[in-house]
Amino acid sequence: MAAGARPENIPVVILAGGLGTRLREETEYRPKPMVKIGDQPILWHIMKTYAHHGFRDFIVCLGYKGEMIREYFVDFRVFSGDVVIDLAKGTHTHVGNTDHHVDWRVTLADTGQSTQTGGRIRRIERYIKADRFMVTYGDGVADVDIGKLLAAHRGAGRIATLTGVRPVSRFGELRVEGDKVVRFREKELLNEVWISGGFFVFERKLFDYLGDDDTVLEHEPLRRLADDGELTVYKHPGFWQCMDTYREFEILNAAWASGRAPWKIW
């Protein structure tokens, strides 16, 4: 799908309510989706990816420190560029750097402080008007071709599609013979392993698999979908990176600062 094209009206649900305890250095003060890569929160980067492929209708599931996400969107232009404030007149003017190409429609939904991922999706069911919708996490970026993902979902004809990605090993790999190391390889992609990177596409029938606020999407609902033969994987061999730890926060910011961030496709 060409950048900027208007696809079928499919909303994008972003799970943005978790505590982010493994990134306590940042999330003590802000929700994880508001932790910045460069001068914008990771949430903005994720939304820019979807918007690049023509998807501009977002439903953001709020929870922990959700008021900060509300403030960001209410004053979006203030946070996205320079502002001149006339205190005498009580007015402000946006000048320079503002992202004028943003034409998103954003629904901010309070889905509870301790609600689990499946429960958050259940809570926003009333905002889903289409028969098909997408879901992703508010803490991961990728160069996923959303158009191809959607086409794969349509072609499979199942209720759910997840994006499979290859994780990077946390440790270097040793090949040994006896007590001798014959090969050492630094951290690299685990070629034979695929994990869920999010970037889901669901049919409305997903709601039949969701329970109460304690429902974890990644547990019983996806397991049942797999058991029922209703879960497809779209394999994405390209870039994907979540931001669970401070080290990953540093990796993403270094990539952005280099000017060669792999997920920057817009």
Render pLDDT for 160-208 as a digit per residue (tens, 0 to 9): 999 999 877 655 555 667 755 556 555 555 556 789 999 999 999 999 9
What's the structural domain count of the chain?
1
For 200-229, what is the mean pLDDT?
Answer: 96
In which domain, by residue range, is 178 found?
A: 12-257
Residue 232 falls inside a structural domain: yes
Residue 105 falls inside a structural domain: yes
Residue 5 falls inside a structural domain: no
The answer to whether residues 118 and 206 touch, using CB atoms and an 8 Å cutoff, is no
CA distances from 225 to 61, 146, 148, 202, 232 (A): 23, 22, 22, 11, 9
3-state secondary structure 7-48: CCCCCEEEEECCCCHHHHHHHCCCCHHHCEECCEEHHHHHHH
| pLDDT above 50: residue 83 | yes
Q: Any alpha helices (H) in the chain, and if so which ranges?
A: 24-27, 42-52, 66-74, 76-79, 117-123, 146-156, 220-227, 246-257
Residue 6 falls inside a structural domain: no
Q: Where residue 29 sits, what CATH number does that domain have?
A: 3.90.550.10
Residue 7 falls inside a structural domain: no
Averaged confidence pLDDT in the chain: 87
Render pLDDT for 97-129 as a digit per residue (tens, 0 to 9): 556 568 899 999 999 999 999 999 999 999 999
H or E element, residue 176: strand 173-177
In this structure, the number of other CB atoms found within 10 A of the CB of residue 73 comes to 15
Residue 264 falls inside a structural domain: no
Residue 45 falls inside a structural domain: yes
What is this structure's pTM? 0.85
Residue 114 falls inside a structural domain: yes
